[in-house]
Structure 1
Amino acid sequence: MTTAPSGEQQSTDADVEATLVASRALLGVVARSIAEALDVVTLPQFRVLVVLRTAGPLRMGALAERMNINPSTFSRFVDRMVEGGWIQRKSRLESRREVLIDLTAHGAQLVDHVTHRRQRELATILSELDPAQRRAVRRGFEVFALAAGEPSATDLLILGI
């Protein structure tokens, strides 16, 4: 014999469903903001650009580690991105033997374009709300983010965020 869910369980189920719907809406914003970029780079390439835009120049091994990719296979991947004009290799001033991977202006511009596009779409969505609703959304996201904790870089990189 099964028992009917309690009022508390029904409320939790409704909370989870509402959060799932909101997460799909946000994923839609992410997908639309990155779609144009994926016409010129692959998602893994865009992930590299985002890491470099966030972290700054990195040694090849450190970048491969952040991408969770074997360094021996990562070198060819980097070669293709250099050839495409998205990133560059440069010697470190303090140690000429140490090579850093950095964004080119072209690579930085692509990441910035995606970021600005995402910001514009979020601003448009939020402009549909009155000030009290915007404050409620902001407060809800702040509370949710605190409860969820900071996602790992690996989790974020899956989507090129």
Structure 2
Amino acid sequence: MKTTTAALPPSGDPGSGSPDDTALTSALTASRALLGVIARSLAPVMDTVTLPQFRVLVVLSNFGPLRMGDLAQHVGANQSSFSRFADRMVAGGLIARSASPGSRREVIISLTAEGARVYAEVTGARKKEIALVLEKLSDAELDAVRAGFEVFARAAGEPSADETLILGI
């Protein structure tokens, strides 16, 4: 007797039958929309900063100066390869390196005035783009979007704007 088994789609793929398929599909759709917002907001500075470099500016803007290893961890990079990446950002005037006051072996990375300017410019453009989308929503839809994004950001480990102000990071 010949038996056949149905091929199962990889876990997490739309249609795999897992209960979070709808949430996954919705998150992917929303991420495409947000990627468009990000691309449009980064367009004016794309000659000076890449998307991975902008992520570094975001982390430093939210957390303040960080040890090189901590910064690499926040952006999901290997510390040795991140050091070369940081060299390019230092050369571009976006970040600065300094020795840690507590240990000369530790390197502290901080935003420069130019890095802070680029962050503010892109973030301002991104806020305008998002506001244009949000103004199309009803009050109930705005509440749903706010709640959903707060939960998503918390699950992703991203501090809220309020937390960064309260904690001073």
TM-score normalised per structure 1 = 0.68
Aligned length: 137
Structure with a larger share of its residues in helix: 1
The answer as to 2:49 corresponding to 1:41 is yes
Give the number of the structure with larger relative contact order, counting CA–CA contacts within 8 Å between residues 6 or more apart. Answer: 1
CA deviation string 1:9-57 (max 9, x = no partner): xxxx999877765554333222211222322112221111111111110
The alignment yields a C-alpha RMSD, in angstroms, of 3.0
Q: Which residue of 1 aligns with 2:63?
A: 55
Contact kept? 1:85, 1:106, Cα under 8 Å: yes
SS in 2 for 1:41: coil
Q: Which residue of 2 aligns with 1:142?
A: 146
For 1:49 and 1:56, the matched residues in 2 are separated by: 10
One-letter amino acid of the counterpart of residue 63, structure 1: L
The answer as to 2:35 corresponding to 1:31 is no
Q: Which residue of 2 aligns with 1:158?
A: none
Change (3 A) 1:32 1:69: same
Alignment of 1:48-127 (within 5 A): 48-92=56-100, 94-95=101-102, 97=104, 98-127=106-135
For 1:115 and 1:19, the matched residues in 2 are separated by: 22
For 2:27 and 2:84, the matched residues in 1 are separated by: 40
Q: Tell me the CA shift for residue 77 of structure 1.
A: 1.5
For 2:53 and 2:114, the matched residues in 1 are separated by: 13
Contact kept? 1:53, 1:103, Cα under 8 Å: yes
Q: Which residue of 1 aligns with 2:9?
A: none
SS in 1 for 2:108: strand
For 1:15 and 1:73, the matched residues in 2 are separated by: 34
Between the aligned residues of both structures, percent identity stands at 48
Contact kept? 1:52, 1:102, Cα under 8 Å: yes
One-letter amino acid of the counterpart of residue 137, structure 1: E
Alignment of 1:125-136 (within 5 A): 125-127=133-135, 133=138, 135-136=139-140
Change (3 A) 1:117 1:64: same
For 1:80 and 1:15, the matched residues in 2 are separated by: 38
CA deviation string 1:79-99 (max 9, x = no partner): 11111100001233x426143
TM-score normalised per structure 2 = 0.66
Q: Which runs of 5+ in 1 are unaligned?
A: 1-12, 155-161
Of 143-152 and 61-70, more deviation after overlay is shown by 143-152
